[in-house]
Structure 1
Amino acid sequence: MTVTSPIRTLGIIGAGRLGRVLAALAADAGYRVLIARSGDPAPIARAMSAIGAEAASVSDVVAGADAVVLALPLGRYRTLPAESMRGMLVIDAMNYWWGADGDRPDLDDPRTSTSELVQKHLAGARVVKGLGHMGYQDVEDEARPAGASGRKAIAIAGESADDLEVVSRLVDDLGFDPVIAGGLASGIMLEPGADAFGADVDAGELREMLDGFATSRRGIVVARARGGVLPA
């Protein structure tokens, strides 16, 4: 389905540390939350119920959610049900970690962002990069109401202005100021190696990091790999 109104039911695929933190924050913010692990959801049902979320199968999460957050190891993105996710708003919070994903040069190629790989697999979905550049512990600890002093920021990247608006509302509801990095290719500025990755800063500082990407070490590597062209 196409979502241009605020998300009411948020799906999360991946019940690890980040997935559980996002589930708890979303439930606290008043969302209905469906969360899936690999395999039978029963082992996490009680723990998810304790934080206000509902454990479900991947197929039930996809069928029942207005938007889905991907919080599983990036190396498993091809296991996602592309056909049943056609038309969905998908928020990609995954990153490449060799320890979890193994040696995968295809996931560490500076010529493309990993969210573009996800979008290629989920050809009929609308992918937005977001919720994965801040450490899960900071996400858990730093959530603040809108307008609160010292509120931190989370950047997002995507192709559709409408989708970015919807995801910005979600980021705000979770307790962070949204910052738009650019199109989906700009998601590479939020990946490991970039200054913004791991950043626990406010919106002004995060925007400075994004604006300075071109002259950063990672930005230079990306520009060289892309023939001098940086993502926009």
Structure 2
Amino acid sequence: MGSEERTIQTLGIIGAGRLGTVLARLAASAGYQVIVAGSGAPALIAPAMRAIGASAGTISMIAAEADAVILALPLGRYRMLPAEQLHGAVVIDAMNYWWGSDGIRDDLSDPRTSTSELVQAHLVGARVIKALSHMGYQDLEDEARPVGSAGRKAIAIAGDDPVDVALVAALVNDLGFDPVMAGPLSAGIMLEPGAEAFGADVDEAQLREMLERFPTSQRGIIVARARGELPL
């Protein structure tokens, strides 16, 4: 990985579904070299990736060549990710718990921890950042705008390392959205299903207000009590 250079030139995306494809298209349009790995052989998605300016590859290729990696696969499959290969990588977690596709999973819905913290615990040595997860793929595709555009929408970012967060913020900006800092990785729970910001297609000021309201929201109170921050 070249993340120590603190710039992203080659972006890897693990997951070739709707979200992964939209992000690949946005990144390629912004001038990034993009490698996408799907669940099967690269040849299966190669034509579709070429059509949007990206290339198809394997997770091993992404681990070797990419400066940052976006996870755009079903969250329930996160334990299948190769922790050893992604050691040291900047990993952008764009996944969410969907009971429809992931099944009923108590381990993925425990309010004591964000799902990105679960991903970080599995990817020992990686540097996980929560981003590009709370806006739907269709809105991501439709709402990308150049810097300074009126009505530009915002994407929240949660992470523990300020340098890595800044790196991802630059990527979010290049993709066409205003980055908003949500706090440490644990704050990623404010971007998950059940929170007001989940599904939000709003500007920077509105998104900040949603994050500020989280502690007093129904979901925020549930989380605070589960984490021992409020009396039961």
Q: TM-score range by the shorter chain?
A: over 0.9
Shift in Å, 1:59: 1.0
Q: Is the 8 A contact 1:189 1:210 kept in 2?
A: yes
**Residues 149-183 of structure 1: per-residue CA shift (max 9 Å, x gap):** 00000000000000011000000000000000000
Alignment of 1:36-115 (within 5 A): 36-115=37-116
Normalising by the residue count of structure 2, what TM-score does the alignment of the two structures yield? 0.97
Shift in Å, 1:3: 3.2
Q: Secondary structure at the match of 2:69?
A: strand
Cα distance in structure 2, aligned partners of 1:109 and 1:223: 12
Q: Is the 8 A contact 1:144 1:151 kept in 2?
A: yes
Runs of 4 or more off by more than 4 Å in structure 1?
A: none
Shift in Å, 1:4: 4.6
**Residues 136-158 of structure 1: per-residue CA shift (max 9 Å, x gap):** 00000000000000000000000
Partner of 1:191: 192
Cα distance in structure 2, aligned partners of 1:61 and 1:38: 14
Residues 1:154 and 2:155 are matched in the alignment: yes
Give the paired residue count: 229
Shift in Å, 1:228: 1.7
Partner of 2:227: 226
Normalising by the residue count of structure 1, what TM-score does the alignment of the two structures yield? 0.97
Aligned-pair identity (%): 69
Cα distance in structure 1, aligned partners of 2:212 and 2:162: 20
Partner of 2:24: 23
Partner of 1:164: 165
Partner of 1:122: 123
**Residues 83-131 of structure 1: per-residue CA shift (max 9 Å, x gap):** 1111000000000001111111100000000000000000100000000
Residues 1:180 and 2:165 are matched in the alignment: no
The residue identity in structure 1 corresponding to 2:77 is R
Partner of 1:203: 204
The residue identity in structure 1 corresponding to 2:170 is R
Cα distance in structure 2, aligned partners of 1:207 and 1:123: 31
The residue identity in structure 1 corresponding to 2:10 is T
Cα distance in structure 1, aligned partners of 2:12 and 2:186: 24
Q: Is the 8 A contact 1:4 1:162 kept in 2?
A: no
Segments of 5+ residues of structure 1 without an aligned counterpart are: none
Cα distance in structure 2, aligned partners of 1:41 and 1:75: 22
Shift in Å, 1:69: 0.1
Across the aligned residues of Structure 1 and Structure 2, the Cα RMSD in angstroms comes to: 0.8
Q: Is the 8 A contact 1:4 1:166 kept in 2?
A: no
